[in-house]
Chains A and B, each alone.
Chain A
Amino acid sequence: MAKIEIQDLTYIYSEGTPAAKKALSNINLCIKKNEFIGIIGRTGSGKSTFAKHLNALLKPTEGKVILDGKDIWDEPKEIRNVRFKVGMVFQYPEHQLFEETVYKDIAFGPSNMGLPKDEIEKKVYMACEFINLDFDLLYKSPFELSGGEKRKVAIAGVIAMDPEVLILDEPTAGFDPKSKEQLLYQLHCYYKNRGKTVILISHNMDDIAKYSDRIIVLDNGNLVMLDSPKRVFSQIDLLKSIGLEPPQITSIMQALKEEFPDLSDEILSVDEAVEALSNFVKNR
């Protein structure tokens, strides 16, 4: 069953003024329950605008956003419930920290949900554990932490609401490779082990290729493709025409294929490439 269904979604910024700009036009798509979705597109293609519709930060100019079979704007007064179900981690989320202690900051979401105290505590610890945050940090001020720890606290603040759909906008920007892998792996677990839907917006094609079940490709407010990584990244000409590059390993294999047509170019990871190339050499 569809977790989120987007019907004829169009969004126009500053409608009715001379500065009006169509940011999304006529988008139709379905996101399944327990799916890992990647969203790619160059800056200004509408990725963030699209994501903001999913948790009701923006209201469609036309069309509908349907969550669990219900139009989210049917009951505007209950709109906060949508935001609890669909969690959103913004770019540089560490800039949203404000409480005196890490604990209070992570508890901000759950307490807005109106949960009882012991339940909040459980959620905070659960989120900390999930994101690998040292419990000792809970009673420190978030402003004393290192950049990487702040980011973790901010993400934990969204995880603590236990959202069914988790959207993240470039969550690993500025991370060193180890912390980056760690976070992506944790997101993978959130989807795999807990049956949730994860939506990752990123410019890093390697990460998108590695983790996504399906990829949404946006260009200039239009949905260009919604397909598996292998299919999306084999459309090299189409991608280049909208200013995107496939993962480096894919484009290496595609370049080799031009001279050696026996090689496969539907390759998304180095290990796959090593296997394919080694076999190729053996068969020569």
Chain B
Amino acid sequence: MLNNITLGRFFPGNSFIHKLDPRVKILLMIVLLFTVFLSANYLSLFVNFFAIMLFVSLTKINLKTYLKSMKFILFIVLFTGMLNIFYAKGTAIFKLGVFVITDEGFNNSIFVSMRLIMLILVSSLLTFTTSPTSLTYAIERLIRPLAKFKIKTHELAMMMTIALRFIPTLLEETDKIIDAQKSRGANLETGNILNRIKSFVPVLVPLFVSSFRRAYDLALAMECRCYKGGEGRTCMKILRIGSNDIWAILIVFGLLVFVLIINSLFPAVRL
């Protein structure tokens, strides 16, 4: 049921992007998102899109997979696009009965849709190519300076690791419990919202109970394997910034500068 969603999934691989340091990837993703929002005219938008597509092709993951992750959002893109087309001021460029498309509306919808699409592409670039473990590890490293403010950074990261690890297990369990209660005649599909919420009690209670049972087991297993928090802990995977990372940083910052230059040379599109 929930297996079809590609958004946020990790696809193992060995590409240039896969091999980048996850810390670098996270930071570059943030820079890329900035660049997307800084693109103020068609040329910079196009350059930006082209650069992102270049990264996408570098991951060697099928373009279809990216498109599938967008299926989820496509509705929102279309909806906002439509809204912007019809509900904006400006000079009319197209008329059909009551429908009027203005230049501002047109620009607006293109920019909003393109930005949304690029946003999803950029975040997919990160999640598709970075395993949840290295992602959490990178986040742990990036937030480590916060430990000075007495924030338990290791514990936060460990919680994320475990949460990610148990998501598929709990999804599967939910499916099983739903099936079991349906077999006993539970009606989960029809009725008003209040009744529906009530009818999910037979699903939620067992789910909680089993989560606690799993948590107990896991804590036991972790203790058996000498887990004692972040202190004195080492990590098998050492993060090292290599030449690939330098290249990626140069390309992304080059893109940022390029976009800024284009913005200053050409007028911004009126939105």
Contacts and interface: CB of A to CB of B under 8 A. Distances in A.
**Do A and B have CB atoms closer than 8 angstroms in the complex?**
yes
Interface of A: 14, 17-19, 52, 55, 57, 80, 83-84, 87-88, 90, 93, 95-98, 108-109, 112-113, 143, 157-158, 161
B187 A57 contact: no
Given A95-B206, A96-B206, A80 B4 contact: no
B206 A87 contact: no
Interface stretch (B115-123, B126-134, B175-183, B231-239): B175-183
Interface of B: 3-4, 64, 173, 176-177, 179-187, 201-202, 205-206, 209-210
A52 B179 contact: yes
A97 B182 contact: no
Contact of B184 (A14, A52, A157): A157
Q: Top 3 A-B pairs ranked by shortest CB distance?
A: A112-B185, A98-B205, A96-B180
Contacts of A161: 184-185
A80 B186 CA distance: 8
A143 B209 contact: yes
B185 A80 contact: yes
A67 to B, nearest CB: 15
A63 B201 CA distance: 34
Contact of A18 (B64, B176, B184, B209): B64
A83 B202 contact: no
B185 A57 contact: no
A109 B4 contact: no
Nearest to B209: A143
B184 A112 contact: yes
A80 B199 CA distance: 15
Contact of A95 (B186, B187, B210): B210
Contact of B186 (A14, A17, A18, A112): A112
Contacts of A57: 179, 182-183
